[in-house]
Amino acid sequence: MKFFNFLGKKKRNIKSDLIVKLAYGSAVSSFMPLVNKFPELSVIPDSGLLEDFDILVTNASIGIILLQVSNYFNPKETIQYISEINKSAHDWNSAATSQISDYGNLIVELTKSGEINGREEFSEVTGRWVLYELFESNPHNIELVPIVDSPVITKILGTIITDAFSNFWTNYEFR
């Protein structure tokens, strides 16, 4: 009876599943160029944390997409799109909604407090959030400490993420 499951599903107005896949694909494809530039990042797959890293990068990417929704859509559409994207993210990974929310709240808080004044700070905070969350979920792995504490690595990682998704709604048509 699985064939008929689609009959009970509500049709989404945007391609939220595609947004999650796009964010995940970007996350997965960003790792090797980072390792080529920073060989010390090989500790991530060596520690069995590559999947966790990919999930965190994906969730930061989705967070960036969600932070922009209200700039492009009316309030009703904004709520609907945020809900649909969060649902797709949760369907992809059950921790996604919580992580996306934590990331978004951090960005909003730091922007309001003036700690994020532009793209450079935004990128650095994004990269630091990914690496800090990776370490926080694996505090026994002290090999991650120099990576988390590296402003160069956090900034470049964050820049990769923010460059890919900062203009998401102007670059893609998902309505």
Written as one string, the DSSP assignment of 39-91 is GGGGHHHHTT-HHHHHHHHHHHHHHHHHHHHHHHS-HHHHHHHHHHHHHHHHH
Q: Is residue 20 part of a domain?
A: yes
pLDDT (average), residues 43-62:
96
pLDDT (average), residues 43-52:
94
Q: Which strand (E) or helix (H) includes residue 31? A: helix 16-37
pTM: 0.89
Q: Is residue 95 part of a domain?
A: yes
Whole-number pLDDT of residue 170: 85
Asked if 30 contacts 44 with a C-beta cutoff of 8 angstroms, the reply is: no
Helices (H), ranges, 93-174: 96-112, 119-136, 145-148, 151-165, 168-171
Q: 6-11 long-range CB contacts below 8 Å, 24 or more apart?
A: none
Return d(Cα 93, Cα 90) in angstroms, integer: 5
Q: Is residue 173 part of a domain?
A: no
pLDDT (average), residues 55-83:
95
- Burial of 73 (C-beta count, 10 Å sphere; 0-12/13-18/19+): middle
Q: Is residue 152 part of a domain?
A: yes
Residue type, 90: H
Domain residues for the domain of 18 are 13-167
Q: Which strand (E) or helix (H) includes residue 30? A: helix 16-37
Q: Is residue 1 part of a domain?
A: no
Q: Is residue 75 part of a domain?
A: yes
**Number of structural domains in the chain:** 1
Q: Is residue 3 part of a domain?
A: no
Q: Is residue 141 part of a domain?
A: yes
Whole-number pLDDT of residue 140: 85
